DNA sequence: AAGATCATTTATTGATCACAATATGAGATC
DNA sequence: GATCTCATATTGTGATCAATAAATGATCTT
């Protein structure tokens, strides 16, 4: 039935089905998560062919993914047409977090009105894992569980409009977030999460929103305090070589 | 040095330079504007090849553009991989406009603090042209000048974060907006714009924000009131055949 | 005559190709 | 020894191709 085109003895090629039709989806989710969790650094240029080689595909799906990430303001294109992770200045960083306060505060308010026991238990579990990651100073999982905690709350708001916007923001500050956690003086804590959890448990929308806003504001201040030390340029895994709980 | 691969006598091929390197930019801006101004209807499927033929290019640049518009939630993809203009239900419409109030209210507040005489005169001019379009019941230019008025305000806020988010929202409700204006009972007015202009002239950020929010809320209510009559299915220019002040 | 099945057509998707522009590096010159 | 220049290599862009899957229409059956 299925006849391989003659290409000599292609024995050593991948005999597995290339999982057609959904390659770009895989690449996209991987890159999205990677951006939020610090797999790519601000200023890093994304080479189409290198990434494609890393993913083991043709440049085509990667092109589509980078295209979409540029549209989401997660990446920016250089004059030469290449794309790179944007380097955020202090003013853009505060802009970003001011909008975060509005959007994520609104999402939290909505979520508080739709709390379920399942949501509470899930958030409690995620927060516990986050605390473990903090204890171990595991940056990747720290960011990962923090992101999952926040997004679980926002997901509960059940707004098809808010979520994509919030995601776009997280994709933008993700790389900078990672950088900041590299600084030894950077405080790591999830104390606000306890307040948020308590407020959600009570269905207190105002308090929950307040907790989120405080969490965001604290993070912003910490980020800005280390924004001066932008000079951090450490060697880094160029390709998609992440090892977080994926 | 440069050797053309042998392909017979390709004399009758296009001798003109195909304007290489930035085709997708043109396509993108055209489609963006077209979505905001009603060139495409909710539910309309965007055929890659048809659009490409309309633009006189290969499907390639169009693919990239559609990709980006999907990433911006301006278009959605069907199960078959095609993309189409989303059909907004009442609940999503109110979500959309609730977020609009926050984001555009914030942008207006920021803009009010950076008002310049040039901005005022530009807004005054745009509003005049909008009134003319309303007078002539010219839907395309009506939407176009309304959009330009709002975006000129937001642009003055000078926020690289807010603008893309606001644009994403406008791309989403643009097609529905056009539909609603087709309904004879739909009220057309720009009375709020006068208030906004006055508030901006005074540098009164609170009043300006209030004006924008009122404008948005009014529009939302009008849209929702005609949301029941979703059945409007009129024959329409399929390709990129717009004739607004481009 | 209406509905279901099957073949045809058309759609996107991933891969490959060709070209142009940019970035990179070596070499020569001052 | 530093700098400018030019050749090389790499990159993105647009076009084309092969293959899969969905949508469409016609034919057959009930």
A8 Cβ contacts chain D strand, under 7 Å: no
- Tokens in use for B43? 């539910």
Q: What pLDDT is stored for residue B190 in this prediction?
A: 86
Q: Which residue has the tokens 């059909």?
A: B87
- Rounded distance, CA A164 to CA A40, Å? 21
Interface residues 72-131 of A with strand C (CB < 7 Å)? 78-80
CA distances, B136 to each of A86, A115, A145, A225, A230 (Å): 45, 50, 56, 55, 55
- Rounded distance, CA A58 to CA A64, Å? 11
Within chain B, all domains assigned CATH 1.10.10.10 are found at 23-84
First-to-last alpha carbon distance for chain B, in angstroms, is 43
Listed in sequence order, the residues at least 6 apart from B230 whose beta carbon sits closer than 8 Å to its beta carbon are B87
Residues of A in contact with B89 (CB under 8 A): none
A63 Cβ contacts chain D strand, under 7 Å: yes
Closest CA to B182 of B234, B224, B243: B234
Digit-by-digit pLDDT tens for chain B (246 residues) are: 333 333 333 333 333 444 567 899 999 999 999 999 988 989 999 999 999 999 999 999 999 999 999 999 999 999 888 999 999 989 999 999 999 999 999 999 999 999 999 999 999 999 999 999 998 888 889 999 999 999 999 999 999 999 999 999 999 999 999 888 888 777 788 889 999 999 999 999 999 999 999 999 999 988 888 765 544 443 333 333 443 333
Please give the DSSP secondary-structure letter assigned to residue A135. H
Mutate one of B24, B71, B168 to test the A interface: name it (highest A CB count within 10 A): B71
Q: What pLDDT is stored for residue A241 in this prediction?
A: 41
Q: How far, in Å, is the CA of A78 from the C1' of nucleotide C29?
A: 33
Q: How far, in Å, is the CA of B19 from the C1' of nucleotide C21?
A: 14
Inter-chain contact A99–B70, Cβ cutoff 8 Å? no
Mutate one of B161, B168, B169, B213 to test the A interface: name it (highest A CB count within 10 A): B161
Which bases on strand D have an atom closer than 7 Å to a protein beta carbon? 10-16, 18-23
How close A45 gets to chain B, by Cα (Å)? 19
Kindly report the CA angle at B177 between B173 and B182, in degrees rounded to 5? 155
Residues of A in contact with B70 (CB under 8 A): 68
- Rounded distance, CA A108 to CA A210, Å? 9
Residues of A in contact with B71 (CB under 8 A): 67-69, 71-72
- Any idea which fold B23-84 has? Arc Repressor Mutant, subunit A (1.10.10)
Inter-chain contact A69–B68, Cβ cutoff 8 Å? no
Closest CA to A34 of A133, A169, A144, A136: A144
- Rounded distance, CA A99 to CA A107, Å? 12
Inter-chain contact A95–B168, Cβ cutoff 8 Å? no
CB-based contact A46:A53 (threshold 8 Å) = no
- Mean pLDDT, each 10-residue run in order, chain A (246 residues): 34 43 90 92 93 94 96 94 93 96 98 97 96 90 94 97 98 92 80 95 96 94 73 38 37
Within chain B, all domains assigned CATH 1.20.120.530 are found at 90-225
- Rounded distance, CA B106 to CA B114, Å? 13
A51 Cβ contacts chain C strand, under 7 Å: no
Q: What pLDDT is stored for residue A227 in this prediction?
A: 64
How close A167 gets to chain B, by Cα (Å)? 11
Nearest chain A residue to B170 by CA: give it.
A161
- Rounded distance, CA A147 to CA A135, Å? 17
Inter-chain contact A71–B68, Cβ cutoff 8 Å? yes
| Mean confidence (pLDDT) of chain A | 85
Q: What pLDDT is stored for residue B11 in this prediction?
A: 35
Which bases on strand C have an atom closer than 7 Å to a protein beta carbon? 11-23
CB-based contact B27:B65 (threshold 8 Å) = yes
Alpha helix segments (H runs only) across chain A: 23-37, 48-55, 59-71, 90-112, 117-135, 139-157, 162-182, 191-202, 205-225
B208-223 confidence digits (pLDDT tens): 999 999 999 999 988 8
Q: Classify domain A90-225 by CATH architecture.
A: Up-down Bundle (1.20)
Kindly report the CA angle at B73 between B146 and A161, in degrees rounded to 5? 85
Inter-chain contact B68–A70, Cβ cutoff 8 Å? yes
Would you call B225 helix, strand, or coil by DSSP? helix
CB pairs under 8 A between A and B: 71
Q: How many CB atoms lie within 10 A of CB A219?
A: 18
B180: left (phi over 0), alpha (psi -120 to 50) or beta: alpha
Closest CA to A222 of A194, A176, A195, A187: A187
């Amino acid at each position: 039935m299925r006849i391989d085109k003659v290409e000599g003895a292609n024995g050593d090629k991948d005999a597995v089905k290339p999982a057609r039709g959904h390659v770009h989806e895989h690449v996209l989710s991987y890159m999205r998560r990677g951006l939020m969790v610090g797999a790519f650094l601000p200023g890093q240029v994304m080479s189409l062919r290198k990434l494609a080689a890393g993913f083991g595909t043709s440049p085509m799906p990667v092109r589509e993914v980078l295209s979409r990430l540029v549209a989401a303001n997660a990446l920016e294109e250089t004059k030469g047409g290449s794309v790179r992770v944007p380097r955020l200045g202090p003013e853009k960083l505060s802009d970003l977090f001011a909008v975060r306060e509005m959007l994520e505060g609104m999402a939290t308010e909505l979520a508080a009105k739709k709390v379920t026991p399942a949501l509470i238990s899930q958030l409690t579990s995620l927060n516990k894992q986050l605390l473990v990651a903090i204890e171990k100073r595991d940056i990747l999982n720290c960011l990962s569980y923090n992101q999952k905690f926040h997004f679980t709350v926002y997901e509960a708001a059940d707004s098809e409009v808010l979520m994509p916007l919030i995601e776009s923001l997280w994709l933008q500050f993700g790389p900078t977030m990672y950088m900041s956690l590299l600084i030894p003086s950077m405080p790591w804590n999830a104390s606000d999460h306890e307040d948020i959890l308590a407020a959600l448990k009570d269905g207190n929308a105002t308090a929950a929103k307040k907790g989120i806003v405080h969490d965001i504001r604290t993070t912003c201040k910490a980020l800005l305090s280390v924004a001066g030390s932008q000079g951090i340029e450490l060697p880094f895994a160029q390709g998609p070589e992440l090892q977080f709980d994926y």
